[in-house]
Structure 1
Amino acid sequence: MNELKNTIKGTIWAAGDPGFAEASRPWNLAVAQKVVAVVEAADAEDVAATVSYAALHGLAVTTQPTGHSASGSADGTILLRTHRLNSVEIIGGSAEAGPDGVARVGAGAQWGQVLAAASPLGLTGLAGSSPVVGVTGYTLGGGLSWFSRAYGIAADSVLAFDAVDAGGAKIRVTAETDPELFWALRGGGGDFAVVTALEFALRPAPFLYGGRIMWPVERAPEVLAAYREVTATAPDELTVWYDLLKLPGGPGFVTVDCTFLGEHPGDLLSPFDRIGGAISDGRGLLPVAELGGICAEPTDPLPSMSSAYLLTSLDDAVAEVLLADPIDPLVSVQIRHLGGALSRPVPGGGAAGHLDEPYLVYLLGLPSQDTADRIEGLSKALVPHTTGRKPYTMLHDGEHAASAFPRETLDRLRDLKRARDPRGVIRANFPVL
């Protein structure tokens, strides 16, 4: 590694060095990453030098700005940290992107930074629920946003990538310069190039209404019935999530989280208002920059075990499975409403494709055998109502990229991987091969 140390401006830790354990730590503390070294890149040149070094010495590179979505596939690789490449710039609109402007962000930028910059302009990127998730990894995996029902998958808003290919060359990838790689990077994962920056279209959000309503868990059946009623006719501007929550040692709750792209949803949420006994109701107008406060997810690393499934319906049979027993030892059983723009194929869209399924269920708990057994039990009970496909960004350690794509898409991604990186220099958290 001395050769690389003398080349880059950033920092390198080899296995056994002081600070190596912390530098190689993933976001999910339950994942053990046995990497050979960690490179904290100072700029895109450091990224190119690291990939070139790996290619020359028969090694592979796994990129993780924040460590989200880490898996055991990083074993034996150089772990490339790009969190220092965290610039965010809002630039004017274009004929291609529309009048609402474009965000140009470095590979290490987090969604909270983007929303803070776009919010005062009445704009938003297609962010998810957490402000500390990296924009790049989220987008490479597709990116299911609060606003995807209105504006589609996040990856399809991308206009250009700056990247490093498997030979260490810096490249710019657009629909014109390299249409096949551009297609793959928009939702196919990080297996094809190391992205150092990306540009994506911003969307109008002059007003945002949203927040959380919480009830005691005993109200769960009523809330789920109202949830089914609301989501059956919800316009694309409205997104609603249902969540059964049970923190260890505490009482259980049922919550509804919502966003509406407008000043007020009118009567669209009235079925929830008719349910008595709410513990709290935080709905109201809020700046886009405060989007992450709705779910208030942890912003520090912790251990977890999870699994996600796309649901073909939310009928009585599914409701019975979800409500039959307390969720212990799980911490959360969340249902997200999909549909809208997510269900409509996009001409010239990326590898993420569209989602025919109207709902998603996400199971989360602290790592233990009991948690694993509970996830397996719920998964089996839901099999008649799932398609077997999982969103790429919700894959968990031990799961595989093959679960995230239709067969034709997976074959196309694999062909591209073999053609562009035959020696496997670049390794995604969830490789397509």
Structure 2
Amino acid sequence: MNMLKNALKSAVRGEVWVPGEPDFDTVRRPWNLAVEQPVAAVVEADDADDVAALVRYARSAGLGVATQPNGHGATGRTDGTILLRTRRLDTLRVDPVTRRAWVGAGVSSGRVQAAAAPHGLTGLPGSSPVVSLTGVALGGGLSWFGRVHGWVADSVTAYEIVDAGGHQRRVTAETDPDLFWALRGAGGDFAVVTALKLALHPAPRLYGGRTLWTVEHAPAVLAAYRQITATAPDALTTWLDLLHFPGAEPMVAVDATYLGEQDEARDLLAPLDRLPRPLADSRRMMSVAELGSITAEPTAPSPGLSRAELLTDLEAVEALLADPIAPLLSVQIRHLGGAFTRPSDSPHGPLTEPYLLYLFGIPGEPTTTGAVTAKQRALASALPVTGRKPFTFLNPDETVADAFSPNVVQRLRGIKRRHDPGNVFRANFPMAG
């Protein structure tokens, strides 16, 4: 392995780790600690030039490159690869006049929000501020404001990439429409994206927060949620959460954001105010830089087992309330619709299902892990699911065929063969079939 380290140190300026070194097992771990990630080496690139040099070396050495800022979507399909960390690709430039941002591959969604907020602008953030904006966009991306603006990838206007030959270039809809289309939601199997150009959107006023009740009120909360989502304008997004954290009593919550004034939001959410007094209510006017506080997801790596499904309606969701959700920690229903249903130049295309179901638990001993996956399977089978899943919500047991239609998969595999015939790039969900 010293030979590999010496060769990599000669090729790149960034930091290099190989098996046997004290920190290797730490730096190779993905965000999801339940995923085992075997790699030949880890490289933290200094910049895009370093990425290009690494790709050229990997190609000549017969190794693959698996790119991760931190590994939120890791699947462990990394044998024979060099793990590329992009945290140092941290350029972030916001132009409030053109409403555009250049975002490096290592920049988190929360940093984009913090930079855009002073200008009354927003990117398209999801529930967690610590995921990389590039990683979210490469998977399509579901955002708090997707009902107004569609997929996160719909707002990407250009990509800076390193191709399989180790060349740096810019990709747009005009320069390479096929590759541009593939990068708008089918992952990192076609190139290393070192930066992207993102259209920002006006967000002069934002109201949001979480309202939380004991689980005995879940049927009434579900009824109110149905009522709200049936007539919600696109500016209003609501998520229903069943929660059961270790050492705590089961609870039910509604998370909400509204791009507008507080009085308008309170009128739209009035069915919640007719429910019994909640345990907590954090709804208020807020900055778009504070969105991560709504769900308060963990900001440090941890193990997890997830399953996502798209729902055709809410007609049978009472099945979620029939029994405790344990051993799951959370069951979430997200309201989609709005701009998600409109045309999209992306592999997913329009997202016509009106709701997303997300089931999450923590693995442990084999019996615990089996109980978590069995509960996920049972709940999903009791609901009106379509079988299709958003790409960024795929779990390690799933493939691109679970996200895209056969025709789309065929087109993506053709683009992969043209742009990376040697299979240098090894994404979490590979296209090669």
TM-score band (shorter)? over 0.9
User: How do residues 119-130 of structure 1 correspond to structure 2 at under 5 angstroms?
Assistant: 119-130=117-128
Aligned to 2:183: 185
**Contact persistence 2:96–2:119 (CA under 8 A):** no
The Cα of 1:4 is off from its aligned counterpart by 2.1
The amino acid that maps onto 1:410 is: V
Aligned equivalents of 2:118, 2:309: Cα separation in 1: 36
For 1:355, the equivalent position in structure 2 comes to 351
Q: Does 1:335 align with 2:339?
A: no
CA distance in 2, matches of 1:252, 1:266: 26
Cα offset for 1:249?
A: 2.5
Q: Aligned partners of 2:7, 2:79: CA distance in 1, in Å?
A: 22
Percent identity, aligned pairs only?
A: 58
Matched, 1:81 2:85: yes
Report the alpha carbon displacement of residue 108 of structure 1 after superposing the two structures with TM.
Answer: 0.3
Partner of residue 364, structure 1: 360
* Aligned amino acid, residue 362 of structure 1: Y
Q: Deviations over 1:37-83 (max 9, x none)?
A: 00100100111111111111111110000111001212221100001
Match of 2:67 among 63, 66, 70: 63
Instruction: Indicate the residue corresponding to 2:133 in structure 1.
Output: 135
Partner of residue 387, structure 1: 386
User: Aligned partners of 1:39, 1:103: CA distance in 2, in Å?
Assistant: 27
In 1, Cα distance between the equivalents of 2:275 and 2:96?
Answer: 45
Task: Extract unaligned runs of 5+ from structure 1.
Answer: 95-100
SS where residue 396 of structure 1 aligns?
coil
Q: Is the contact between residue 11 and residue 54 of structure 2 (CA under 8 Å) also seen in structure 1?
A: no
- Is contact 2:186-2:347 (8 Å) kept? yes
User: Which residue type is aligned with residue 170 of structure 1?
Assistant: Q
What is aligned with 1:253?
Answer: 251
Deviation readout 1:197-239 (Å, 9 max, x if unpaired) = 0001000000000000000011111000100110011000000
Partner of 2:55: 51
Aligned positions, number: 421
Q: 1:210 aligns to what SS in structure 2?
A: strand
Cα deviation 1:363-404 (Å, max 9, x = unaligned):
00011221111112212222xx11111111111112112111
TM-score by length of 2: 0.96
Which residue number in structure 2 is paired with residue 269 of structure 1? 269
Give matches, 1:215-230, under 5 Å: 215-230=213-228
Query: Mind listing any 5+ residue stretches in structure 2 that lack a counterpart?
Result: 364-368
Query: 1:204 — aligned with what?
Result: 202
Instruction: After TM superposition, list the pairs within 5 Å mapping 1:274-293 onto structure 2.
Output: 274-293=274-293
CA contact (8 A) 2:412 2:431 kept: yes
Residue 98 of structure 1: aligned partner: none
Q: Retained in 2: the 8 A contact 1:141–1:352?
A: no
Which digits, 9 at most, give the CA deviation of each residue in 1:316-357, with x for residues without a partner?
A: xx22221111000000000000000001113xx222311110
The answer to whether 1:161 aligns with 2:159 is yes
> Is this contact kept in 1: 2:11–2:57, CA < 8 A?
no
Q: Specify the code of the residue in structure 2 equivalent to 1:306.
A: S
Distance 1:302 1:71 in 2: 14
Q: Could you state the TM-score of these two structures normalised by the residue count of structure 1?
A: 0.96
1-side partners of 2:41 and 2:403: how far apart? 29
Report what 2:426 is aligned to: 427
Contact kept in structure 2, 1:11 and 1:40, CA below 8 Å: yes
Q: Take 2:161 and 2:14, find their aligned partners in 1: how far apart are those partners? A: 18
Cα-to-partner distance string for 1:401-433 (whole Å, 9 max, x where unaligned): 211112221111111111111111001111122
- For residue 402 of structure 2, give the secondary structure of its aligned residue in structure 1: helix
